[in-house]
A and B are shown apart, each in its own frame.
Chain A
Amino acid sequence: MRHFILGALALVLLAGCATPPPPEPGSAASKIVVMGKFKGIAVGAIRVARENGFLTAKVQLSNITSSNQTMYYRFAWLGADGFPVGDEETWKVLSLYANQATFLPAIANLPQAADFRLEVKTP
């Protein structure tokens, strides 16, 4: 009995150490790349469409804290082969008031872009 309890405890501890499973491909979380720290802001649904030949994205962001938040972001546009197309974007700053929800729009810089990643971080 004692061995069993110890074994169960060890299993629980090991499960706590395991890394979280990778996001499902094609989900909103799979498009977000957190660079270091990203706290206080939640990423919601993402709308992806091809309009007039260019890939467009709208990302829902909400400040889940009761204080103002600042975040840095940039989009990385990828071709059909998964490699980046065009030049790297510069980092941009977005301020979110307390409990504010907003949409972050973006248009690919080249028509070859077929996928994207949103790189985010908070200071």
Chain B
Amino acid sequence: MRAWIGMIGLLCAFGASAAPKIAVTDLAYEARVEEYIHQVSASNNFQASSHHASGASNYSEYESRTSYIEQTELRKFSGDIKGEILKSRQFQLVQGTPYTADAKGDVYDVIKRIKAGNFKGADYVLFGTLSDIDFTQDINALDHTNSYSAVLGLTLVADFSLINTRTYEITSAFTAMGEGQDTKLVNSRDVRVSLNRPRVVKEVSKALGADVARQLAEQLGGGYQDPGQPPLRNNLPRDEAPKILR
């Protein structure tokens, strides 16, 4: 009997010390997709002999413009967010069911998705929605030279909420940004300049992950600190109360 009580106690202690499980969604976004179709077909048929001539011509035009709103998830930028969360050792990661084209329902309706069991086993869901993403490509002249600098930049801003899957309480919420750019010096003799797009994407992902981890730590109070004490902003040792030696 005692052994059983001991084992149950141990199991309880283990359960209490395990880090909460978190599922990270890909960045949800909505895009307006437009389709424009313009079809023209024309045929001409003419027959002539010495006694008889006939001709027929046919022309048809079809034009259609449809637009619809597509909801999906941007899958490229969540890897580094997960990596940084793992590094912080505050959470255990759980993979949720991704939102695919077959999925019914609203990608933004996270409560419905939690209820539908898309994040099974997770205590928290880090729900991210894409606010804005923008590629910029510039060529700037450099003074007193005949060179130019070609810049390819990408900026991504996403909005995050950390939602408790049981109570739907938002434990922390913030906007995170990732920025990256590739710069090349270009001469007038360069025929073609190709900027490194994958590297820019990787840089953005890395910066976004770091920003998310930083803001999460800021709002949840950092790694292993007691909730009563303010989080440390640097690596300095914690302050100690004065002691009077006599």
Contacts and interface: CB of A to CB of B under 8 A. Distances in A.
A16 interface: no
Contact of B240 (A31, A49, A111): A49
A27 B246 contact: yes
Interface residues of B, number: 12
Contact of A47 (B236, B237, B238, B243): B243
Size band of the interface chain A makes with B: 10 to 19
B241 interface: yes
B237 to A, nearest CB: 6
Interface in A40-89: 44-54
Contacts, number: 41
Contact of B237 (A28, A31, A45, A50): A50
Interface string A15-52: 00000000000111011000000000000111111111
B34 interface: no
B245 to A, nearest CB: 4
Most buried by A among B234, B243, B245: B245
B245 A26 contact: yes
Contacts of A31: 245
A49 B241 contact: yes
Contacts of A111: 236-237
A31 B246 CA distance: 10
Nearest to B234: A53
B222 to A, nearest CB: 16
B239 interface: yes
Contact of A45 (B236, B239, B241, B246): B246
27 contacts: A26-B245, A27-B245, A27-B246, A28-B245, A28-B246, A30-B245, A44-B246, A45-B244, A45-B246, A46-B245, A47-B244, A47-B245, A48-B242, A48-B243, A48-B244, A49-B240, A49-B241, A49-B243, A50-B237, A50-B239, A50-B240, A51-B239, A52-B236, A52-B239, A53-B236, A53-B238, A53-B239
Interface of A: 26-28, 30-31, 44-54, 111
Interface of B: 234, 236-246
- List the 4 closest pairs (A to B, CB-CB), nearest first: A53-B236, A49-B242, A50-B240, A28-B245
